Amino acid sequence: MTPPPTLSPTVSTAPDLVAGFPFPFPNPTYRYTTNVEPARGVVTTPAGQWGAAVVDVDSAYGEELAERAAILERDPSRHAVLPHMQVACWDAMLCLMRELALSRPDAFALEVLDDLEGGSRAAYRWRNDLLGIDHTFVLGDASTLPDEPLRWITAQVQEDVVLLDERDGVLWGDAGVVTFAADWSFGFDVGMSFLEIHGPVPRIHAEGVITRAHEFIKRLQPNETYRRTNWTLTVHRRLDVSTETYPEWGPDRPMVLTVDDETFGRLVHLRTEVQHLVRLPESGAVMFLIRSYMLPFDELARVEEWRERAAAVIAELPEDMADYKGIATYRDRAAAWLRAQAPTP
């Protein structure tokens, strides 16, 4: 066998990241569905729980924000705002600040200081103790912020953010900051319709899944918040597996077939996306949040219910779906590896 590759630094064994991991398989088989549910419901798992917060803050906070900053420095196309989305960006910023304060009131606070111009604008004080930020700004006045509002607030959350504008009954991805895409490109997709963005996904068009999702999102009312999960497998703990960086991570897929079992368990990660949909109250835009969580197989296998279920789902997954998710080359070994970790009777 070839020597094990150099492993990327990882925080994925931190206890809170295991306890809070959103395991994505409620059933022994997986097919694309809209699978939306109201947000904030707590989901209890064999390892702990997840789901109480719309914007989650965990022990990877500092590391992931540093990674986001480095990605944006290298590739500014990961941040885009079409001109008509300025109000939506301010709307999203306030919403994310409020969600952070709800999630961690010990570390974040948003305070209204004064209404200006007869209540049409307001001055706010924002405090982020984790990053040492204490800043006063006027809503809608870009000169009072250190950066464009969406970029500034996404430097303080672990979620990727896409803002969907609705025009003539169609949703359009017209703004966002996406640094942790899983095999897609926000820079390519910006300005496209929701249906066009999801064009490459197998089955969802023929089965009507994406059309139902589109209609559901359009029916969202101001401040309504829903969530869903998605998943894939990733080699190494790579948050950025966007199409722009394919030359960096694409070779990992065949490489993982050549390593020994111990290395395989450390390299291959189950990656869950918790996706939230929020209808913003002032602009009417829909904020699409994507938070990516990763757990290496060697940690996953220690939770027996997770090990059994993940092995069953991966083994049964139809070939076209496995191919789209990029796991076709090593999914048989992944399922076999998980089954081989069964406790000895």
Tens digit of each residue's pLDDT (9 = 90 or more) over 232-281? 999 999 999 999 999 999 999 999 999 999 999 999 999 999 999 999 99
In a domain, 269, yes or no: yes
In a domain, 2, yes or no: no
Mean pLDDT of 173-202: 87
In a domain, 187, yes or no: yes
Domain total in the chain:
1
In a domain, 345, yes or no: no
* Between 278 and 115, residue with greater pLDDT: 278
Report which of 331, 338, 294, 305 is spatially closest to residue 14, judged by C-alpha positions: 294
Mean pLDDT of 309-331: 95
In a domain, 231, yes or no: yes
In a domain, 38, yes or no: yes
Tell me the residue type at 90: W
69 CB-near residues (< 8 Å, 6+ apart): 155
Q: Is 121 among the residues known to form the active site?
A: no
Report which of 276, 39, 288, 274 is spatially closest to residue 175, judged by C-alpha positions: 288
In a domain, 136, yes or no: no
What value does the mean pLDDT of the chain take?
A: 91
CA distance 52 to 45: 13
In a domain, 103, yes or no: no
Pair of tokens at residue 115 = 């209404």
* Lowest mean pLDDT across 19-23, 68-72, 118-122, 228-232: 118-122
Residue tagged active-site, from 228, 253, 333, 339: 228
Report which of 200, 189, 207, 183 is spatially closest to residue 31, judged by C-alpha positions: 207
* Lowest mean pLDDT across 5-14, 149-158, 182-191, 312-321: 5-14
Residue 7 binned pLDDT confidence (cut-offs 50, 70, 90): very low
Residue 345 binned pLDDT confidence (cut-offs 50, 70, 90): confident
Domain span holding position 44:
15-84+155-340
| Rounded-to-10 torsion of CA 303, 305, 306, 307 | 80
Are residues 4 and 259 in contact, defined by beta-carbon separation less than 8 angstroms?
A: yes
